[in-house]
Amino acid sequence: MDGAQIYLVTGGCGFIGEKITELLSQQDYIKEVRVFDSVARKEVEKFATGTENLLRACCALNIPYVVYTSSIAAVGPNILREPMLRGNEDTKYSGEVELPYGKTKAMAERLVLEANGKKLSNGGKLTTCAIRANTVYGERAKFLHELYLSAKAHNGVLNYLEPEHTERNSTYVGNVAWMHVLAARHLQLKPDILAGQVYYSYDDTPTTKSFLIRYQLMSCMDPSIRLGSHIPYWKMWLLIHLYRIIEVILSPFWKFRPSLNFPLLHTIVTTFSFETDKAFRHFGYKPLYSWEESKLRTAQWLKMAAGNPSLQ
């Protein structure tokens, strides 16, 4: 175990990575936590797939364990927008993923799982698993801050795109990070159980309507926020087409990048939810933070971020 007491967090300055680093640093069985992060530079643009290079480095440098942060977007929704209602890691769901982000995550996840069992340069073998995050909220969640500012700009009214019957899961960032910490530990202790496995991240955040979760997080810190009404699909359809026209007109002078497009809209309005206890069964995961504590922590950060742009 001595060689496993140095942990490297790639993307450790990011939203989830920073929380993973914080929790790892609190574990007494870890000797050292190292953080690697990057800013896109011309020198690294020649490398096509970062995950592939990471796996090659692990094999060359005899790093035996990898926990990969994947996403539920790697599974779906697909281009047919077929829903998944309260599935689990074994639920059969096929078809091409529609969201571009999901396509890249699916490719990277596949590389990680296929690398499980590969030989290291010292004759050992690489052991991998993946954690599929869903909608992650908490401190430094930029999308929440942006939604809050949008609501304040509309007299405190928070409108939403999801039809009321839509189900999606949300998880507090601290619990997503805690699942990573436990998985990394037990990947060493119980490799026969965790090797090559995927796990959905989860906690006791309510799973019914995402817009209600966002409303509770915001109204907890600012009671003036009011839940508005559903924005019809056809309105957003027209708006996205308008964005496309503007993008074409402005392209010679300015790169216009709208925040909403059809793949993202279709993902928002399609039910894609799961129920699972696989992480508990395989490595004893239980949420470190309750829904009430997660809500309070998020609201406190949101309040500070609203008054201090440097905290965004």
| Alpha carbons 113 and 68: distance in angstroms, whole number | 9
Rg (CA), the chain: 21
| Alpha carbons 222 and 228: distance in angstroms, whole number | 15
What are residue 254's phi and psi, to 5 degrees? -155, 135
Q: Measuring CA to CA, which residue among 9, 289, 295, 13 is closest to residue 174?
A: 289
Task: Answer yes or no: 200 catalytic.
Answer: no
Q: Which of 7, 65, 101, 137 is catalytic?
A: 101
End-to-end CA distance of the chain: 38
Residues annotated as part of the active site: 101
